């Protein structure tokens, strides 16, 4: 940590107790970005909401495709509205006929509209963050939760209504921070000799801003938990391997994503492939080819509008036979994203901080609908295998990495499925990918045609929200005594928390590897084999040893799936994981 940043943090911490005692909702807060004025959140009017705070110099014009630069300012900042969303992938609109054919519910329509970023305003000047806090009550120095949204690295924004942090700040006595990061070709360009993984570097800079400024909002910079879902969860895991020496944060929460899954290391692009995609882009935009001067080609591309760049990226990907989603995403540079996470794991070369991780019981419930928009339908067995390959087994592997290195680890499986969170009823969407987020953030769909929350749903939501906050406050011991106790994870023991299981509140513990019986062996980010399995009939397999060897980082399970079947599922994994980026729903 730089001395100036450290002194700033100390000064802000010293003034924090006085601020808390006399805190006025929405009061002006001095930050390294300037003086920020907030307002009362609605409906939680006791929560101070600060929106759209710049943490990086806008990456526009000549700064496009460069590493983020810290923003320092002294001007007044109006923190009452969200900043721009980072430009996402070009999107298409499913027809009303397709919506009807897939039986999307009123709840599902709201959820998919949020994921499709209906009503967002886009600009490259998008590197802003948001803070929700309630310093006038509770701890003088509160634990901090920093949220990273998902969206397959090609879409997503912190202004998504489903990610609003006011309910967590109101109910759990923590500070909640969210931020934007660059996406797609603008965040992961693949340019030769250029800086890669700009979106991940944006995330790091946002965390540095939180470290330096959160004390002024009543937060404790020594208790920061980084958490995310899907690509946001993979981002958390990337972070844990990239900033080993100075992680800043003190714990991680990973929801449905890791370096061992398709949204993580398995989906990372090689530098050679990234260069090819980039050269296809320059050719499409008339800025040269593989033999052109790199500096001239880059200058030409920087002169183009971002909308032209996004459209050309889609066209060049189509012409090259690769999907847009797989062309511009996290790229192996062996600085932020690495070629072999298994070896790094075995060497203990990652931030050994407490980890809470898990998956939804039926992740495929969302992807089946998105794939239906693409006129793709598959069997139930296929979707169960999809869940194993894309989510359950990577999660199990990542859990084994931590426990093999004696890191306090908690693992969950989300079973919550409620009338107002169902995307479809025929087929039943179940506990779909991201279905825990309405409960966690307290942002359930509501309005015309949407059922009210059930009493059980509200209790389960309170449980998961409290669990996440308890972990953030004390990641080494807090969950051990939380509402009856939740033990650290062990594959052989009754330590897996089944949240929302059979509509019950509490941990509802099961044997650690009870749902891993169909797991593939995953070595160096490559799916070797697997079998179709699901939550209704878990296999009874032997437990995984915790000794750190390559053979036992992967879960042990039956191996019945042929290589041909796996070769068929991998393209669909890629398609489904990134299908959200190709979807915008018309307002109903």
Greatest mean pLDDT range, 26-40, 185-199, 266-280, 554-568 = 26-40
Catalytic residue check, 363: yes
Share of the chain above pLDDT 90, in %: 66
Does some domain include residue 60?
yes
What is the pLDDT, as a whole number, of residue 410? 98
What is the pLDDT, as a whole number, of residue 118? 78
Q: Are residues 120 and 243 in the same domain?
A: yes
Does some domain include residue 31?
yes
Query: Which pLDDT band, with edges at 50, 70 and 90, does 99 fall under?
Result: confident
What is the pLDDT, as a whole number, of residue 20? 65
492 pLDDT higher than 70: yes
Residue 89 near residue 186, CB atoms below 8 Å: no
Q: What is the pLDDT of residues 196-228, one digit of tens each?
A: 999 999 999 999 999 999 999 999 999 999 999
122 pLDDT higher than 90: yes
Alpha-carbon distance of 217 to 193, in angstroms, equals 40
Q: Are residues 243 and 285 in the same domain?
A: no
What is the pLDDT, as a whole number, of residue 261? 84
Q: How far, in Å, are 78, 229, 431, 537 from residue 437 at the CA level?
A: 28, 9, 11, 26
Q: Which residue has the higher pLDDT, 17 or 344?
A: 344
What is the pLDDT, as a whole number, of residue 482? 97
Count of CB atoms situated within 10 Å of the CB of 305: 10
Q: Are residues 41 and 132 in the same domain?
A: yes
pTM: 0.88
272 pLDDT higher than 60: yes
Domain boundary among 327, 353, 374: 327
Does some domain include residue 546?
no
Q: Are residues 337 and 321 in the same domain?
A: no
What is the pLDDT, as a whole number, of residue 555? 54
Count of CB atoms situated within 10 Å of the CB of 454: 13
Catalytic residue check, 172: no
Q: What is the pLDDT of residues 533-580, one digit of tens each?
A: 344 333 333 333 333 444 455 553 322 333 343 444 444 444 444 333
532 pLDDT higher than 50: no
Share of the chain above pLDDT 70, in %: 81
Cα atoms found within 13 Å of the Cα of residue 63, Cβ hemisphere only = 14
Count of CB atoms situated within 10 Å of the CB of 247: 20
Catalytic residue check, 250: no
Q: Are residues 263 and 390 in the same domain?
A: yes
Rounded mean pLDDT, 58-66: 97
415 pLDDT higher than 50: yes
What is the pLDDT, as a whole number, of residue 537? 32
Segments forming the whole domain that contains residue 305? 271-327
Q: Are residues 308 and 446 in the same domain?
A: no
Residue 530 near residue 389, CB atoms below 8 Å: yes
Q: Are residues 263 and 147 in the same domain?
A: yes
Q: Are strands 409-414 and 355-360 parallel, antiparallel or unpaired?
A: parallel
Residue among 345, 429, 433, 457 flagged as catalytic:
433
Q: Are residues 275 and 394 in the same domain?
A: no
Residue among 170, 275, 363, 457 flagged as catalytic:
363
The domain tally of the chain equals 2
What is the pLDDT, as a whole number, of residue 541? 32
Among 177-181, 211-215, 342-346, the range scoring the smallest mean pLDDT is 342-346
What is the pLDDT, as a whole number, of residue 389? 87
What is the pLDDT, as a whole number, of residue 326? 54
């Amino acid at each position: 940590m730089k001395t100036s940043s450290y002194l700033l943090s100390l000064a802000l911490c010293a003034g924090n107790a006085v601020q808390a005692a006399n805190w006025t909702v929405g009061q002006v807060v001095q930050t390294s970005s300037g003086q920020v004025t907030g307002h009362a959140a609605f409906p939680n009017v006791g929560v101070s909401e600060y929106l759209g705070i710049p943490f990086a110099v806008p990456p526009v014009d000549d700064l496009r495709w460069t590493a983020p630069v810290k923003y320092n300012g002294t001007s007044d900042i109006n923190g009452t509205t969200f900043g721009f969303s980072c430009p996402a992938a070009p999107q298409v609109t499913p027809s009303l006929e397709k919506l009807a054919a897939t039986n999307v519910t009123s709840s599902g329509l709201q959820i998919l509209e949020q994921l499709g970023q209906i009503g967002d305003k886009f600009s490259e000047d998008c590197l802003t963050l948001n803070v929700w806090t309630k310093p006038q009550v509770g701890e003088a120095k509160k634990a901090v939760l920093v949220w990273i949204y998902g969206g397959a690295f090609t879409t997503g924004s912190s202004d998504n209504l489903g990610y609003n942090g006011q309910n967590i700040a109101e109910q759990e006595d923590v500070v909640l921070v969210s931020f934007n990061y660059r996406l797609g070709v603008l965040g992961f360009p693949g340019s030769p000799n250029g800086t890669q993984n700009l979106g991940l570097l944006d995330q790091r800079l946002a965390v540095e801003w939180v470290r330096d400024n959160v004390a002024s909002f009543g937060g404790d910079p020594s208790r920061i938990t980084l958490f995310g879902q899907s690509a946001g969860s993979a981002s958390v895991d990337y972070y844990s391997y990239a900033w080993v020496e100075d992680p800043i944060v003190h714990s991680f929460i990973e929801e449905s994503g890791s370096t061992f899954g398709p949204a993580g290391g398995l989906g990372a692009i090689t530098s050679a492939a990234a260069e090819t995609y980039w050269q296809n882009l320059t050719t499409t935009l008339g800025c040269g080819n593989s033999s052109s001067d790199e500096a001239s080609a880059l200058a030409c591309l920087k002169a183009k509008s971002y909308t032209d760049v996004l459209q050309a990226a889609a066209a060049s990907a189509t012409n090259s036979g690769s999907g847009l989603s797989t062309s511009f995403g996290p790229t192996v540079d062996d600085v932020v994203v690495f070629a072999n996470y298994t070896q790094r794991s075995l060497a203990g070369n990652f931030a050994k901080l407490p980890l809470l991780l898990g998956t939804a019981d039926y992740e495929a419930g969302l992807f089946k609908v998105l794939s239906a928009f693409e006129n793709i339908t598959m069997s139930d067995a296929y979707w169960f295998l999809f869940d194993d390959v894309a989510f359950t087994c990577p999660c199990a592997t990542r859990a084994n990495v931590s426990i093999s290195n004696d890191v306090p680890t908690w693992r969950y499986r989300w079973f919550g499925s409620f009338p107002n969170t169902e995307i479809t009823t025929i087929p039943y969407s179940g506990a779909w990918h991201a279905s825990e987020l309405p409960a966690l953030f307290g942002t359930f769909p509501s309005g015309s045609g949407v059922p009210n929350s059930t009493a059980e749903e509200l209790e389960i939501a309170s449980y998961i929200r409290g669990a996440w906050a308890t972990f953030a406050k004390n990641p080494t011991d807090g969950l051990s005594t939380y509402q009856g106790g939740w033990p650290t994870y062990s594959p052989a023991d009754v330590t897996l928390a089944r949240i929302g299981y059979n509509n019950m509140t509490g941990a509802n513990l099961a044997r650690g590897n009870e749902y891993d019986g169909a797991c593939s062996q995953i070595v160096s980010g490559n799916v070797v084999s697997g079998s179709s399995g699901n939550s209704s009939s878990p296999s009874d397999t032997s437990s995984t040893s915790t000794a750190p060897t390559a053979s036992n980082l992967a879960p042990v399970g039956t191996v019945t799936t042929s290589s041909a079947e796996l070769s068929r599922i991998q393209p669909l994994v890629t398609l489904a994981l990134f299908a959200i980026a190709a979807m915008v729903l018309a307002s109903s």
